[in-house]
Structure 1
Amino acid sequence: MTAQTAQTAAEPFTPENSAMLLIDHQVGTMGWVGSIAFDEMKANALALAKAAKALDIPLVLTSSMEEYAQGPLLSELAETAPAEFAARVQRQGVVNAFDDKNFADAVTATGRTHLIIAGVTNDVCTVYPTLTALADGHPVQIVADAGGSPTKTADDIAVRRMDKAGATITSTNQLLAELAHNWTTPNGSKIINILMELLPQS
């Protein structure tokens, strides 16, 4: 690791240095997940998209084979981030999103060093882009509860693999609080409203 890479890795994740990558949050694929409740996973993924838009964090969306069983991306993503939804990278069977040149170029175009990744499923669609991003020197945070796997065992194994490779494993609440940094700032006010939407309603 070079001194420059080490310095970059040590920098905290901020709205200014981060990009948000949401991978394959498709209605069919999400229906295969058994490690987390569908509604919880969906709410967390949408919260990430809302936070990216609120904090001007570049948001890259991608899907795989929408015309097949995987189905379309969540329609709510089109409501939250219409431009990013329209520009989503539609892969045709490529497992590692970074092996798709259009996706890799879209991430490079953000100009950001730190990557926040959430994907479905964690044991396939999240693992391989994460390993590639880490190998390329990007600090990576995986928002594990904005994705999931067909079984809890598969999810645990995937999360351990990404953790061992050097990714930081986090949750939606943790990640959003980290980006807010201070609840009394304008960014903090934007984020706290998104967090409140995730709280259980009495």
Structure 2
Amino acid sequence: LTTVLEERGGYLIKGLQAVFPDQKPIDRTLINTWQDPNVTDIVKKSGRKQLILAALWTEVCLAMPTIQALGEGYDVFIVTDASGGISAEAHDMAVRRMAQAGAVPMTWLAVLSEWQRDWAREESAAKLTPILEEHGGATGVAFAWEMQLLASAQKAGK
């Protein structure tokens, strides 16, 4: 998590901070996050070669680090519906540019589903269910209905 000039009002979105309550955002001045060694040192020390990125100002704060990380050999997945540009056109053009450079566009629901893989993984499913129900639109409604059917079937089977 990063912020830009927090003392001038560049605060992190509160809902996002709530997801990572123990992580202190890195406050930066550089426009391109990938040029900040405070960020890249953490990524490099992790040993991970796959990055999942989202940002405000898709055409700047997402595109610049994505393209640079791709150039350094990272696989980059961009969460398009958790990012936003200054206009729909700016967002779309930036996503196209990053995809042409090798980034893989994804949605937040695709990320969630790939991490979960199996709803039988109850510990993580219990944490993800409220997120899916609240933010999943029609998918969230359908999921809640399916969970209700499963619960009814389990009660009937006992």
Q: TM-score range by the shorter chain?
A: 0.7 to 0.9
Number of residue equivalences: 138
For 2:79 and 2:21, the matched residues in 1 are separated by: 22
Q: How far apart are 1:71 and its partner, in Å? A: 2.5
Unaligned runs of 5+ in 1: 1-60
SS of residue paired to 1:82? coil
State yes or no: 1:66 paired with 2:6: yes
The residue type equivalent to 1:77 in the other structure is L
Residue 112 of structure 1 and its aligned partner are, at CA, apart by: 1.7
Pick from 41, 62, 66: which aligns with 1:130? 66
> SS of the residue aligned with 1:67?
helix
Unaligned runs of 5+ in 2: 142-158
Higher relative contact order (CA 8 A, sep 6+): 1
Q: Secondary structure at 1:169's aligned position in 2?
A: strand
Aligned match for 2:15, one of 76, 94, 97? 76
Asked whether the equivalents of residues 65 and 71 of structure 1 are also in contact (C-alpha less than 8 Å), the reply is yes
Rounded to whole Å, the distance in 1 between the matches of 2:32 and 2:105 is 19
Structure 1 vs Structure 2 CA RMSD: 1.9
Higher Rg: 2
CA contact (8 A) 1:117 1:143 kept: yes
Does 1:91 find its partner at 2:31?
no
CA offset digits 1:33-88 (Å, max 9, x no partner): xxxxxxxxxxxxxxxxxxxxxxxxxxxx01111233x531112333332221x2x2
Identity %: 36
TM-score (norm 2): 0.79
More helix as a share of residues: 2
Aligned to 1:101: 37
